[in-house]
């Protein structure tokens, strides 16, 4: 198998796997149940990333699932360079406020606070689909540069550097009147 064929097969597998994973994740998230969670703790925490100070909100959420009360810590996914911007972002999670959480029915400790902002169900499948598209494009370019032509007599695909058609045995012309496949 030529490298271009291997690349095309890899691209197709990545693309189809990405679509299948996205479909699977979509089906999984549809089974999750929503619950109302109350913010019982809310604090702005500074941390260092890349030598620079950033700020993120740390919360404790309380919700009920399967007749059990859960108190779980949660880090706000967005971080800010300035304390004022982080405080503004944290205002929607004031102590005593409520928010909707989406719970995994098999494990109530597995939850999403904001399903639309979670990369959990998006980045891996989208990355696989993107890699499949990119590799597929590269393989199309490789296929077009393989320089395969059609024999004028039997229309068998032959390489440009061949002197005879392997199917009919005809001597192949070197003129530009060949038809590319």
What's the whole-number average pLDDT of the chain? 83
115: which residues sit within 8 A by CB, 6+ positions away?
Answer: 29, 102, 121
159: which residues sit within 8 A by CB, 6+ positions away?
Answer: 146, 147, 148, 149
21 neighbors 125 (Cβ within 8 angstroms): yes
pLDDT, tens digit, 9 for 90 and up, residues 96-113: 999 989 888 888 888 888
DSSP symbol at 82: S
The yes-or-no verdict on residue 177 having pLDDT over 60 is no
57-76: average pLDDT = 92
DSSP symbol at 145: H
Structure tokens at 117: 């902002």
Whether the full predicted model's pTM is greater than 0.75, yes or no, is no
């Amino acid at each position: 198998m030529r490298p271009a064929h291997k690349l095309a097969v890899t691209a197709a597998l990545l693309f189809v796997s990405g679509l299948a994973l996205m479909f699977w994740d979509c089906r999984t998230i549809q089974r999750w149940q929503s619950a109302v969670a109350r913010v019982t703790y809310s604090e702005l925490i500074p941390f260092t990333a890349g030598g620079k100070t950033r700020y993120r909100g740390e919360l404790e959420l309380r919700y009920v699932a399967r007749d059990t009360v859960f108190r779980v810590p949660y880090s706000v996914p967005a971080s800010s360079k300035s304390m004022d911007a982080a405080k503004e972002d944290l205002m929607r999670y004031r102590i005593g406020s409520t928010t909707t959480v989406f719970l995994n029915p098999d494990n109530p400790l597995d939850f999403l606070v904001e399903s639309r902002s979670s990369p959990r169900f998006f980045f891996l499948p989208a990355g696989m689909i993107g890699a499949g598209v990119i590799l597929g494009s590269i393989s199309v370019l490789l296929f077009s540069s393989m320089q395969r032509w059609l024999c004028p007599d039997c229309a068998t695909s032959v390489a440009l550097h061949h002197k005879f058609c392997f199917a009919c045995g005809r001597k192949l012309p070197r003129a530009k009147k060949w038809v590319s496949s």
